[in-house]
Amino acid sequence: MQPEDIKSRIDRLTNEQSWTTYSYFLEKGEQDFRRDIDLDHLINIPKISRDQWGTPTLPRGYHMSVSHTKDIWCAVVSHRARLGLDIEINRPIDYRIVQRIASNNEWAYLRQYTRQLSTRHHFWTWCFCVKEAVYKMLPGSPESRIADQNYQECLLKCAINNQRGYFLEPCHDDTYTLYGAFDRDCVYVVSAQKTI
């Protein structure tokens, strides 16, 4: 898997071009990102700052979200919208991981699919990715993010196709849109807030 592949897959999620994607090999990701964001004339940053909860931040009204897999480092940056990015290796994960992070309403909604999907572990990877992307999009402390209704209900907004087990079209809401894709290597989800 090459960084350029990840970048092009994420860029294809939307035609709106509401963000800029940066993708690199993990060991030089942050260093190369700082160089390229400066070359794009977006902003000059000597290092990526972190807020009091450890969330990566940029100055001057830019919003970013970072994710990495075992060998790829990726960021999305926007001047218009708060973003959340999650990339996961498309590998089996146990449904109980999603059960722990899903709200009661989400889990009740997902349970109708568990019999059909119990062997489709990538479905649970998809659900985890959605929750993580929305969590990263939200401002504030970890506790306030988890309590936020957008986080508590994000899986309810996913149009689950019984044949495939996950949504493929952008999933719109009044406050944010979920964009997602998957392939044999990875699952990708970007959550973009509609207004700041």
CA separation for the pair 22, 55 (Å, rounded): 17
Please give the backbone phi and psi of residue 103, each rounded to the nearest 5 degrees, phi first: -70, 170
User: What is the four-CA torsion angle of 132, 153, 190, 64, rounded to 10 degrees?
Assistant: -70
At residue 165, the pLDDT reads: 46
At residue 125, the pLDDT reads: 84
Ranges of residues in the chain with a pLDDT under 70 are 14-17, 40-47, 113-121, 159-170, 172-173, 195-196
Please give the backbone phi and psi of residue 175, each rounded to the nearest 5 degrees, phi first: -110, -25
pLDDT in tens, 167-196: 545 676 678 888 877 777 778 888 888 754
